[in-house]
A and B are shown apart, each in its own frame.
Chain A
Amino acid sequence: QSALTQPASVSGSPGQSITISCTGTSSDVGGYNYVSWYQQHPGKAPKLMIYEVSNRPSGVSNRFSGSKSGNTASLTISGLQAEDEADYYCSSYTSSSTRVVFGGGTKLTVL
């Protein structure tokens, strides 16, 4: 069982917007602004999409945005495109001795 809870799957049509949630506790997501999001295509390494809750690395499309409210962080993808179909993982700093925890991952299907 992962430390952070994500929906197993979400789907949307091209051009639509979707949101993936990531729920933790006050010891991780809710207590710190160190939430990151990763995109992983099958057989590939993960790619950083969002860091520190809402910051986009250079080169990442502005269709990807992040936010946080309480113990839940969210990744929103607007203007869905076929190439957005992938698995998405959230991660957070945690005050436990295991300093970083991941969510279980969400499979995004573009219909």
Chain B
Amino acid sequence: GAGVSQSPRYKVTKRGQDVALRCDPISGHVSLYWYRQALGQGPEFLTYFNYEAQQDKSGLPNDRFSAERPEGSISTLTIQRTEQRDSAMYRCASSPTGGSGYNEQFFGPGTRLTVL
């Protein structure tokens, strides 16, 4: 079966432009996570969805970052007025269920964002 997919795989944009990154989770997975990974760092949590509800956005760095998952499946992470410091790998992960019990998170290939 298909795993988590992300598009685009690579995105180069100019400072000040808006970008939208897409994540298509494994079919039927309830939970969806977004992470950001800067060069030389581990993935850093951004936000979490349980079905269509954004239950945790504590990791979003500022109000230029937003995410949605309107139908509880595909999710979009939007960065407005991009800055060079936004350059990173953006990773999406999904898991079958949510809550306190750990369920393996399945990661997508990531989107490499470069802001010039």
Q: Do A and B bind each other?
A: no
